[in-house]
Amino acid sequence: MSIKVAIVGSGPAGYYTADALLKKFDDIEVDVIDRLPTPYGLIRFGVAPDHQNTKKIMNAFEKTAMKDNVAYYGNVELSKDVSLEELRALYDAVVLSTGAGNDRMAPIEGIEKKGVYGSATFVNWYNAHPDQRNLDPDLDTESAVVIGNGNVALDVARVLVRSDEEIAETDIPDHVAEKIRKSPLKNVYIVGRRGPLEAKFTNAEFRELGHLENCVTVAEADQIVGDPSDLEDEREARIKEKSFELLRQYAENKPGEKDKTIHLKFFSSPVEILGDDTVEGIKLEKTEVKDGKAVGTGEFFEIPCGLVVAAIGYRSLPIDGAPFEEKSHTIPNEDGRVEKGLYVAGWIKRGPSGVISTNRPDGVAVAEHVAKEISDGGKDGGKGLEALLKEKGVRFVSFEDWKKIEKAEFDAAADPAPRKKFVTVEDMLAVLEQ
């Protein structure tokens, strides 16, 4: 009897786990379930729209998805269309790889004001996530502030300053592209509460800030403090030295050399969002880094702006029927094992960090646990799930269906855009009615 495994969440962690399971077992059926008709989670809705090369990992996941013993059930929401309890009754093992798709908001006074967004919300908006199709942020401002010094902060800043030609090469949906094109934005401030030595962004992404058609990136020479060679890890030290080289180049640039300017502001901790109901600026405190921590100096300054994006990390939400660790926003587990028959992979397992391939070992760990613990098989699996969904009137989207939706996206794209994404689930499902 083949072993039946359900994986909830079709992002990188989901498909790496499917792949690892296929490699481990000869006789297995793997069903990947996703809330949306579209597979690949973060690859579609998180990876920046101007990073189409990164999105090519979809091709590898597609190979896994198209194997005979792998099925896709899109448009099926856990806890709404099917419960975890029901899945556990239908499958020998259930893997939760639902990611961390929610905002982590900074504990700053006034954070709830209009014009302030968490990065999950904002990134989903420009990546055509159906949940954020009506977000409609006001970009009618000359200045925006992005809080955070991670790769997501750089993504957000870059997307905001892209030129018309650069946008045309992305899959940013038309309504978003139109807003960015019309925006009078001149200045984007990327503010980090610690210094360049502690910044989390990676060099490839940092280097990109120096190659923007319409925008110059400017650093402040007196903020290039700290010595990368002090870092204990030699590899880390070499990487940081490259980042400092870039910083020194950015410090040579002048604001206004191009139409738009990205200002790198380190040692700046956000304190308060200014304005009545709507953001008019942000108050920050200058900091020093002591023992690796940002410590306020008591000196404050303000940046007037009409948009703030807090790119300070993501957050997972609890899942009915699974334990949850409130502090880390993860499901408590031992290297991916929650208990016999229930496993986790990706950001819901270990928090929102790492690159796409960081999820691969998570999948391998799950496959090891399943191999050790599950041998009997014999549950209904996909057949049972389909019967249940039919009974509940849920219109699930198979992988074949998804390929039809995707073809419609390719067909609708205007050269040189790679695809024209559907923005609503209704529009995606309408393709399947034709």
Contact 372, 356 (CB under 8 A): no
Instruction: Report which residue type is found at 134.
Output: N
193 in contact with ligand NAP (CB under 6 A): yes
Instruction: Select the residue interacting with ligand NAP from 113, 114, 186, 200 (CB under 6 A).
Output: 200
Instruction: Select the residue interacting with ligand NAP from 297, 353, 375, 424 (CB under 6 A).
Output: 353
Between residues 17 and 119, which has the closer beta carbon with respect to ligand NAP?
A: 119
Specify the residue for token string 């549950």: 379
Scan residues 77-106 and list those touching ligand NAP (CB under 6 A). 106
Instruction: Select the residue interacting with ligand NAP from 169, 198, 259, 280 (CB under 6 A).
Output: 198
Minimum distance from CB of 133 to ligand NAP (Å)? 22
Instruction: Select the residue interacting with ligand NAP from 66, 221, 355, 413 (CB under 6 A).
Output: 355
Between residues 7 and 199, which has the closer beta carbon with respect to ligand NAP?
A: 199
Between residues 92 and 166, which has the closer beta carbon with respect to ligand NAP?
A: 166
Question: CA 60, CA 316: separation in Å to the nearest integer?
Answer: 26
Binding string, residues 153-192; x marks residues near ligand NAP by CB under 6 A: x-x------------------------------------x
Instruction: Report which residue type is found at 234.
Output: E
Q: Using the rule CB under 6 A, give the single segment among 200-208, 240-248, 396-404, 421-429 that binds ligand NAP.
A: 200-208
Element at 288 (helix H, strand E): strand 281-290
Between residues 270 and 275, which has the closer beta carbon with respect to ligand NAP?
A: 270
Instruction: Give which of 160, 128, 129, 132 is closest to 145, Cα–Cα.
Output: 160
148 in contact with ligand NAP (CB under 6 A): yes
Question: CA 254, CA 261: separation in Å to the nearest integer?
Answer: 9
Scan residues 269-308 and list those touching ligand NAP (CB under 6 A). 270, 294
The C-alpha R_g of the chain, in whole angstroms, comes to 23
Instruction: Select the residue interacting with ligand NAP from 228, 255, 341, 354 (CB under 6 A).
Output: 354
Contact 295, 289 (CB under 8 A): yes
Tokens of 413: 């794209």
115 in contact with ligand NAP (CB under 6 A): no
Find how far residue 32's CA is from the centre of its chain.
19
Minimum distance from CB of 217 to ligand NAP (Å)? 16
Minimum distance from CB of 413 to ligand NAP (Å)? 23
> How many residues sit in the footprint of ligand NAP (CB under 6 A)?
27
Minimum distance from CB of 72 to ligand NAP (Å)? 25
Minimum distance from CB of 210 to ligand NAP (Å)? 16
Minimum distance from CB of 318 to ligand NAP (Å)? 20
Instruction: Report which residue type is found at 152.
Output: V
Instruction: Select the residue interacting with ligand NAP from 158, 194, 260, 349 (CB under 6 A).
Output: 194
Instruction: Give which of 82, 92, 99, 81 is closest to 10, Cα–Cα.
Output: 99
389: number of Cβ within 10 Å: 18
Find how far residue 242's CA is from the centre of its chain.
25
205 in contact with ligand NAP (CB under 6 A): yes
Strand partners, 191: 147, 265
Contact 264, 217 (CB under 8 A): yes
Which of helix, strand or coil describes residue 295? Answer: strand
**In 327-424, which ranges are continuous DSSP H helix?**
347-350, 360-373, 382-392, 399-412
Minimum distance from CB of 149 to ligand NAP (Å)? 3
Scan residues 2-61 and list those touching ligand NAP (CB under 6 A). none
Q: Quote the crossing angle between the two packed helices 174-182 and 119-126, to the nearest 10°.
A: 110
Using CB under 6 A, list all residues that contact ligand NAP. Answer: 106, 119, 147-153, 155, 192-194, 198, 200, 202, 205, 270, 294, 311-314, 352-355
